[in-house]
Amino acid sequence: MKLLVIIKRVEDPEIKIKIKSGSTGIDTDGMKYVVNPFDEIAVEEALRVRDANDGEVIVACIGPSESTHQIRTALAMGADRGIQIISDEAASPNVAATALKKICDEEQPDLIILGKQAVDDDLGQLGIILAEKLGYSQATFASKEISLESEEEKKKQPALLVNDGKINVIREVDGGIETLCASLPAVITTELRLNVPRYASLPGIMKAKKKPIAQHQLSDLSGGEANGLKIISLEAPITRAAGVKVPDVATLVDKLRNEAKAI
């Protein structure tokens, strides 16, 4: 099998994001960037599917030239090679899908896996648009069902089961859990509960330095399509007021009744 995983370079969600004066963007001084957590889960699942069915895992990333670091992270986890699509500006999901379609036309992957959304913009549109442009089957929000398997077995077995040109996907819906059977090739987007990504080992990190990364310019792949994405302004969330300590239950009830109007 040939598996293509699409990842995104995002700001580390563990650090505090500061907004520039004028609300024109975020302050990038001292900023740390990581692989989008949803996409990291997609990499892990692709590696498990590859190990269960043989083949290769290719990692593609659209971003600035520095996004090579995030591709190397996926290669250190075990992916076989990378594709970098260089763009200094944020690409809209439609433009990104147009560029990735050209990559898919060339690579002809059996399965495309990516996170359901990126934690920087939360758009959650790329996988759906890409599947539409390619005419591939798609299943969103893949999330493994809770089973009685041991924790050790869970670390090895893929949640996405491939058999006879089809893939079974367990996904979360409002009413509970449903299982879909999709024909390959297909596009799958992953939920946080699908798996727990592995840590890159030291040998993996060393091997990643020698794995190939092909480079393309986004403008060459998008065919001059208008971006259609413009950030007007950014604002930090409203700061919550500090909590208040009360000496006893009677005071608490009084404040809930007369100040918060909760009871």
**In angstroms, rounded to a whole number, what is the distance separating the alpha carbons of residues 132 and 109?**
15
**Which pLDDT tens digit goes with each residue over 14-53?**
888 888 877 777 887 888 999 999 999 999 999 999 998 8
Q: Give the percent of the chain with pLDDT over 70.
A: 95
Q: What is the token pair recorded at 37? A: 């957590």
pLDDT at 150 over 60: no
Residues whose CB falls within 8 Å of the CB of residue 252, separated by 6 or more in sequence, listed in order: 246
Q: What is the pTM for the complete model shown?
A: 0.84
Q: Residue 64's pLDDT band (boundaries 50, 70, 90)?
A: very high
CATH of domain 2-238: 3.40.50.620
Cα separation, 54 vs 42, in Å, equals: 17
User: Could you please report the per-residue DSSP string of 5-61?
Assistant: EEE-EEE-TTS---BPTTSSSB--TT--EEE-HHHHHHHHHHHHHHHHH--EEEEEE
Q: Is 146 exposed, middle or buried (0-12, 13-18, 19+ CB in 10 A)?
A: exposed
State residue 90's pLDDT score.
86
Q: Which segment of 80-89, 203-212, 228-237 scores lowest on mean pLDDT?
A: 228-237
Q: Which two tokens stand for residue 233?
A: 């302004």
Residue 169 confidence (pLDDT) above 60: yes
